[in-house]
Amino acid sequence: MSPEEHQTIIRRYLDEAWNKGNVDIIDELMAPNYARYMGTATPLNREGQKQRILGFRRGFPDLHLTLEDIFATGDRVGFRMLLRGTHQGEFMRIAPTSKRVEVVAIDMARFVDGKVVDQWGQTDTLGLLQQLGATISVG
């Protein structure tokens, strides 16, 4: 597949899974051995990524991702997104606040045979928590 076709898959993933909540699309677009790395010791598999997306959508039912930048070369696609939503359900053990949030996320995906095998990403979780008014204790 071409880099442009890989970009099309990423656009479809963001629209279907994140914006529409159709997480079953992950089984079609991600390889069976898919791994989502977020800086934690253990990466998420397909089911874990589905639960992560559903958790965001429970906390922010009007969640919408806007693709700000995307580029592809070879078997890799890099993309930057803006997540927006209203905190209307429990999220990360934080009761609903009705606050609107806007958070940046940056990801990179690696493809093998037309499917995402590896995905690395970082979301501005601290910024999200600050927008919700959550306090963070250290130590």
Please report whether residue 138 resides in a domain: no
pLDDT in tens, 37-63: 998 789 999 999 999 999 999 999 999
pLDDT for 31 equals 98
Residues of the chain with pLDDT under 50: none
pLDDT for 79 equals 98
pLDDT for 139 equals 67
pLDDT for 115 equals 98
One-letter identity of residue 137:
S
pLDDT for 80 equals 98
Please report whether residue 14 resides in a domain: yes
- The dihedral built from the CA positions of residue 62, 122, 97 and 102, taken in this order, carries a sign that is negative
pLDDT for 105 equals 97
Please report whether residue 26 resides in a domain: yes
Cβ–Cβ under 8 Å, residues 61 and 18: no
Cβ–Cβ under 8 Å, residues 99 and 131: yes
Please report whether residue 106 resides in a domain: yes
In this structure, what CATH number is given to the domain that contains residue 54?
3.10.450.50
Domain that holds residue 116: 3-132
Please report whether residue 123 resides in a domain: yes
Other beta carbons less than 10 A from residue 57's beta carbon? 20
